[in-house]
Amino acid sequence: MRLSKIIPVAIGALLAACASFTLAAGLRLVDIPATETVPALKAAIWSPCARPPETRQVTAFMVRARRDCPVEGAKLPLIVISHGFTGSMYGHHDTAEALADNGFLVVSLNHTGDSGMSMKYPWDMLAFERRPIEIKRVIDYMLGEAREASRIDASKIGVFGFSRGGFTSLVVAGAVPNFAGSEVRCKMDRPLCRQLEREAPGMRDWVHDVRVKAAAAVDPLNVFPDAASVAGIKIPVFLWISEKGGDGVEPATEAKLHPLLPTARDYKVVQNAGHFDFLAPCAEAVARHEPEICQDAPGFDRAALHRQMNEALIQFFRTALDIKA
């Protein structure tokens, strides 16, 4: 997905204060230190919070959360969110907020070199290879170095991803990509296009994480053409796809993934939805300038989709991670 044209707005720029006294999701921004193998990462941590929310515009989105709110609860399940092509850690803020409001600790990151904030190598196989490595690093950080570490139940960890992030979720869960054998084709004159033609299973050591016990993918890049490519997935999977697709995601190809996933618990084709409808609704002013990303098809209600999807995700993770109400 493409958000690189959207100019980031400082997180501290308060645009509107919410007068409601409903509870908020807490929001804390962190810089995850580099290791010998993983560069420093920027991330947002969303948590259960007992204070009223605030509404702020961040990049294309109106984020409803309370900055630096004390974390409520203990033994919290952890969900890691992976954005799509040139996306950002805010692209699924409404899902993060909904999960946090329902007792989950959520962390979303900007993927190195493949986000709207850093376009170093989005058109190289390195962008795909590094994504699962970065998810593993985020989990390591949350369970060890983060100040929320003592609040996390390490036996209840899930991942959620959109587009390339959906690909990431499935790889973390155990899938092995087969780019050359897939129906994904690239016609542009970029290094990635040439790499895809010869990229076969066994050429790379893809990183999986057995600590992850549930995986959600919406409109994932489907480079898993056969049962062998997803045989390593032994955990419950949530798979929603758009009827219309877009940005290189083809509905016919997406639909072929579900029958290959024996652990799929929640599968849905969202009627009349396009690929970008899985992004959180855009701020109104931004939507006028970014119609491809922000504007819905006639008669389609993105906000309604997200209410439905977020509730389904909450129920999926509660069931898959065996979370008691």
- Given a contact cutoff of 8 angstroms between Cβ atoms, the answer to whether 216 and 77 are in contact is no
- Given a contact cutoff of 8 angstroms between Cβ atoms, the answer to whether 173 and 262 are in contact is no
Q: Which tokens is 104 given?
A: 């989950």
Sign of the torsion angle spanned by Cα atoms 323, 150, 147, 156:
negative
| Residues 261/264/266/271 CA torsion (nearest 10 deg) | 0
Element (H, E) at 213: strand 212-218
Element (H, E) at 52: none
Please tell us whether the domain made up of 24-321 is placed in CATH 1.10.10.60.
Answer: no
Q: Rounded to two decimals, what is the model's pTM?
A: 0.89
Other CB atoms within 10 Å distance of the CB of residue 186: 15
User: Which of 206, 221, 209 has the alpha carbon at shortest distance from 158?
Assistant: 209
- For 297, the 3-state DSSP assignment is coil
Q: Dihedrals φ, ψ of 14, to 5°?
A: -75, 120
Task: Print pLDDT tens along the chain (325 aa).
Answer: 444 433 333 233 222 323 333 467 999 999 999 999 999 999 999 999 998 888 987 777 788 999 999 999 999 999 999 999 889 999 999 999 999 999 999 999 999 988 776 655 556 778 889 999 999 999 999 999 999 999 999 999 999 999 999 999 999 999 999 887 787 766 655 666 766 666 666 667 899 999 999 999 999 999 999 999 999 999 999 999 999 988 778 888 888 999 999 899 999 999 999 999 999 998 887 787 788 888 888 889 999 999 999 999 999 999 999 998 6
